[in-house]
Structure 1
């Protein structure tokens, strides 16, 4: 019996020694990728000196919020408007820029881009395409049904402009984000996406005005329909 047990044990050890063992390392063989990200104006001309930041998309980020702990790198665009990132792991990244200015309007570009190993990803974007529509209907706050016709409306970024009685007319005169309501009190204003905006409502004739209305934020290529109740200046 003892000899039989020893024989079986030896046979088992022999089988183990003959078994093929393979170790798989998922990191081995993974090469880096590159990203060439170009910012252009409405005429297709590159925008130099603009800061572009790269974030790790796996950190749970979205296009309305970035966190500094997830930042991979930041670089300014060159004379051709290109921000070049190299040595990137092949995965998804959030590319963001909030300092590009077109026609005196500051835009915020942010989108997810996938980087592939051994490939240079090239992307060119028109900054002003990162916009959405604010469709507003102005109604009198006296009876809450009469539309406010032929009234001026200015959209301004609340985080960039500290609006007060001393600068409100300067903001009205210099802004390109404005319009005039029609017979139904309706006006549509195209604004940069993912930026908080509020409004100035003013009389085109006597320049009486009001501000401090609700704040709105529209995503790229989207639109918001809102009703503003205002005093009929």
Structure 2
């Protein structure tokens, strides 16, 4: 009798656990997934002298973070990303949140993970007209600055939870943040070839960049997963 009761309790607990995390979570994506290097010139406005593909697609790694999360993720391709054009992290997003609430109900989901190109440059940012939709993350070098590169990111993670009715972004320590678009990296060698304007020590720089970038992506994704699980 005790054995049967124990088995029933285990079954019930498992059922409750699975039911909690079986609630659908939508995910929408709109970003350039190719790792690149750009060699730039200029001061007030940067111009790309060369953009090279470094042969790595980040999308499978981001997908793997979703698989590790154990959330019941549902990839959606019917999201209008222009709804986020006026996202403001400081002053609220009531109009956007109303649209997201409707979208979640229409698609039968309890929360939405958004991964997008943010392209939200300050008017004085020298990168504001440089890349368009061609370059969302990678390594920047600059003509005349031979032993300095910058790790660049234009990908933003957002999440919306129906229960809280809030559109938010993960808050992390600065070293793990995706908010700051550039991170300066000093080198003890010339980082670019002056003739071809391509990156020197490609494999080394690619490996080191990806180690840093994946750490930041995972930290941000983990916070989103934690917030969603705690609200379901």
Q: Same fold (TM over 0.5)?
A: no
Give 1 or 2: higher strand fraction. Answer: 1
**TM-score normalised by L of structure 1:** 0.30
Give 1 or 2: higher helix fraction. Answer: 2
Mark the structure with the bigger radius of gyration. Answer: 1
